Amino acid sequence: MILKNNYFYFKSALTEKQCTDIISFGLSKMELNKAEGKDISATTFDNKEKGGVNSEGKKTTEEKMLGSLTRQGARKKGLSENDVYVRDSHVSWIGEKWIYDIVHPFIREANHRAGWNFQWDFSEPAQFTKYGVDQFYGWHSDSGHEAYKMALKGVDGKWKVAIKNDLGWVASDKNAPVRKDGNLAPGWVDNINFAGKVRKLSVTINLTTPTNYDGGNLKFDMGPHAVKRYHVCKEIRPRGSVIVFPSHIYHQVTPVTRGTRYSLVMWNLGHPFR
């Protein structure tokens, strides 16, 4: 996909109070989740955030994919993408209406002004992320190649492949794939607003005063044929800055070397491109 603009940003768009309110709310949800015994460690779509595992379920390596290590660099070191840490941070989820009221106008304006004009009609819950020292998110794309697939619980209590008919979605007699913990496998959902859609537009909001941390930069990989392949997005270092970009673009958050970085991320869905 050839784009005239790979990203569009709004410098210092959120107020100091909005940033503070989001941080307070995100941290309070983290504390609540911990009190309920829930893991607040960030995960990846394919559950490989902490590296590869062998047939016994043991990690194959402890090596981290740091910000300076590209996929090519990992291969030169004899490492597979699946054999390195891809992500290390803590998260909570914010699906309250007031968050969408803040973020949606920026998505609509960027989608128009950048010339993308992507069709989208639903936003996933926002992810509040806390990056401490040495925490990071390696190279990744937010968008997969396939649309979300729908599943429903059958009369036997098991997840079933859902089929859409004139009355809506119904469970078939075919089992849907699940993880060992019984939850749906990556790419499968039980929310009709996700079904048949892909992530099209990603949003990142920097919530932290730039003097309070070092590192933790959003960095893009524009592809091997770009005039300038890699770009550190210093444009959004000011607190409250918002950046919107097509979800298929590879990006990372480089390791934080001092302080703490707080951010808010949201993914916006639409039917697959034609």
9-35 residue pLDDT tens: 999 999 999 999 999 999 999 999 999
Is 101 in a helix, a strand, or coil? helix
- Tell which residue, 97, 98, 126, has the closest CA to residue 204: 126
Checking if the pLDDT of 107 tops 70, the result is yes
Checking if the pLDDT of 54 tops 90, the result is no
Please report the sign of the dihedral spanned by the C-alpha atoms of residue 58, residue 81, residue 92, residue 20.
Answer: positive
Checking if the pLDDT of 271 tops 60, the result is yes
What is 8-38+88-142+197-270's CATH number?
A: 2.60.120.620
Q: Where are the domains of the chain?
A: 8-38+88-142+197-270, 50-85, 149-189
Average pLDDT of the chain is 88
Is 57 in a helix, a strand, or coil? coil
Which range of 57-71, 139-153, 188-202 scores highest in mean pLDDT? It is: 188-202
Predicted local confidence at residue 195, as pLDDT: 95
CB 126 within 8 A of CB 265: yes
